[in-house]
Chain A
Amino acid sequence: MTRRYSRRDFIGLALSAAAFPWLACKRSAERVVNFFNWSLYISPKTLPRFTERTGIKVNYEEIADDEEMFAKLRAGVGGYDVVVASDYMIPRMRELGLIDPYPAGALKNLRHIDPKFRATPYDPDNSYTVPYMWGTTGIGYNRGKVKSPPQSWWALWDESYRGKISMLDNARDNIATALLLKGYPETTTDPKAFADISEMLSRQRPLVKQYSSGTYIDNLITGEISLAMSWSGDVLQAARENPQLDYVIPKEGSYLWVDNLLLVRGGPNREEALQLIDFLLEPEVNAEITSFVRYASPNASARKLLDPGLLSDPRVFPPASVMKRLRIHALLPPETTQLWNQTWSDIKLG
């Protein structure tokens, strides 16, 4: 679920996007796999290592958000073998026939996955998903630019930060958080609840410098904004560039989400795709990715190999007391999803 274009990788992104169709059809004898992932969601060492070991070339393409990936797959843009998608996307991708189930026993490293991340509501029989990383939605902030470290979501409604606030640009995080703050169940369709949260989010709008799921990280790093509704790993990666940056899960609670490796239906390189996914599940490989992307790993064996500092970092692996305040997104029927999208779209009209 991390999705950022940063200054330094957008050129590479543009280049790889331009080269993708060419690479994908180059030399049919060469073994390839086409992997569609969020940006900065893998260690730079991972894929070269895979290619070195297996001889399989990875065409790696980066994507900005779930919705963009979904729109692309739905529009029938072919050629992808493996995509990463968040939990709540799975049922609709399955329903629309965009993904295939995993062949039984195809992944020998699946045993490393923590059982807590299996038999989930979005994939009860474990047939379509392999968890890749998980993370939380919270507040990223610049220690040097806030009065005191924010503890509550309401810091994002604080008048004194007018023009210094950024919110993620999607219905999912904004509506869900607003419903949570107002004490409504996530599945509600009550018009009163939606009028209530619309008022609340519209009231915040004049304080917001930008709605962004990508460039907000750059703006946090440069100090352009002080507080941002953020995804955990994004901020913690950015903290390498600006040590003033910190991340907090607000006291009112928040959402945790699980990103999954999926097999695209009709993907041309199934055998290679399975080999890649199995590779990503290897404890050592997975641990290396985790320590680079600073999202949490659902891989129990990989966690044992992590630096104790990272493993005990409550911002990456929240302690039990914080976990109690985290929930996963409810699976909404299509009409409710439509209501969410419409509500969010109307708030942005201003």
Chain B
Amino acid sequence: MKRVLASHLDRGLSWLIRGRDRRASHVLLAPATVWLAVFLVLPLAWLIALSFIRSGPYGSFIWSFNLQNYARALDAKYLPVVLRTLAYAGAATGLCLLLGFPLAYFISFYAGRWKDRLLILLMIPFWTSSLVAIYCWMIILGQEGLLNSLLMTLRLIDEPLNLLNTPFAVILGLAYFYLPFMVLPLYGSLEKIPRNYLEASYDLGAGAFRTFFKVTLPLSLPGVVAGCILTFVPCLGDFLTASFLGGPDSYLLGNLIENQFLMGQDWPFGAALTALLLVCMAGGMALYRRLEAQESWQR
């Protein structure tokens, strides 16, 4: 009896996993599809719908179609926030690249059997709660924090540095959170470089320096681009880092949106801002897809 059941189960599973049957793939896709439909598509549709209505007294909804939220969102007074957000995301992406490239290079070329373990270590901070991580950064960066105490003990500074609630703290925090998004694509493209290309370069008389700039770097460019887009895009929407580690000068688009939903009680306007941000993000991702497609075409 048990054996019959097992064989049925076995046949069922292999139908699902190995079968070319269309119905099998539908069954496999169903949970994810339902999940995405209920928790992503529906809320998103609701958000888009909200962006076209008006908010009434105390943030209630007035269901009449209009574009005034978008007109408001494009007001010039929001331009500084948009530019600031682009600058912060850009700086965080630059910092990630600066930190991430050597790291990915090391893991790919020198880590040997430690590769997998190092990649897991890279992911661990990403699995911790972002709130916990932010509070840790507050403890590190404070006037009487770990970093200042260390620098004072080493007599490198006489007065504690003002680090917390500065643009520096926000960019550092963003870079910390999104570093894996940079390192993983970089690592992937570095791994793909055939090692005999490098040997060929050396054989033809190029030094390590020249080999890196003429062979390794150009071949890793797809990873650089992918990493930059994957880091830049989520940085655009971040608000938690800026609100805890930043000061008044670090008021970003994410904070402006959060403000509309909570303090401002103007959901339709917040929805319009979000929709615009999503369009920009989707644009970034489309660019990424296109570059990726080009790359695979070239090969």
Contacts and interface: CB of A to CB of B under 8 A. Distances in A.
Contact of B129 (A14, A68, A350): A14
A350 B261 contact: no
A215 B244 contact: yes
A223 B59 contact: no
A11 B162 CA distance: 26
B142 interface: yes
A334 B58 CA distance: 6
Please tell me the size bucket of the interface on A: 35 or more
A267 interface: no
Contact of B58 (A11, A95, A206, A342): A95
B109 interface: no
B82 to A, nearest CB: 10
Give the interface centre of B60, B129, B162, B259 by most chain A CB atoms within 10 Å: B259
Contacts of B58: 92, 95-96, 334, 337
Given A210-B248, A348-B251, A349-B81, A224 B139 contact: no
A341 B266 contact: yes
A14 B248 contact: no
Interface residues of B, number: 38
B78 interface: yes
B263 A222 contact: no
Contact of B164 (A7, A11, A224): A224
Contacts of A163: 162
Given A68-B262, A222-B143, A224-B143, A348 B57 contact: no
Given A210-B165, A341-B263, A10 B135 contact: yes
A208 B60 contact: no
B57 A170 contact: no
Interface string A327-347: 000000011011001101110
Given A11-B132, A96-B60, A224-B143, A345 B264 contact: yes
A222 B135 contact: no
Given A14-B131, A224-B143, A334-B58, A350 B264 contact: no
B201 interface: no
A158 interface: no
A11 to B, nearest CB: 7
Interface in A82-133: 92, 95-96
A209 B165 contact: yes
A218 interface: yes
A210 B243 CA distance: 9
A331 to B, nearest CB: 12
B159 interface: no
A240 B107 CA distance: 49
Contacts of B218: none
A335 B227 CA distance: 46
Nearest to A334: B57
Contacts of B246: 210
B247 A350 contact: no
A74 interface: yes
Contacts of B56: 334
B211 interface: no
A210 B255 CA distance: 13
Interface string A170-198: 11000000000000000000000000000
A228 to B, nearest CB: 13
A71 B265 contact: yes
B138 interface: yes
Given A68-B262, A344-B263, 20 more contacts: A70-B265, A96-B60, A171-B263, A206-B248, A209-B247, A209-B248, A210-B165, A210-B248, A215-B138, A218-B138, A224-B143, A338-B266, A342-B264, A345-B256, A345-B259, A346-B77, A348-B259, A349-B78, A349-B256, A350-B249
27 contacts: A7-B135, A7-B139, A10-B135, A65-B262, A65-B263, A67-B262, A68-B262, A71-B261, A71-B262, A96-B58, A96-B60, A170-B263, A206-B248, A209-B248, A215-B138, A223-B143, A224-B144, A224-B164, A224-B165, A335-B57, A341-B266, A342-B264, A345-B259, A345-B264, A348-B259, A349-B80, A349-B251
Interface of B: 56-60, 77-78, 80-81, 129, 131-132, 135, 138-139, 142-145, 162, 164-165, 244, 246-249, 251, 255-256, 259-266
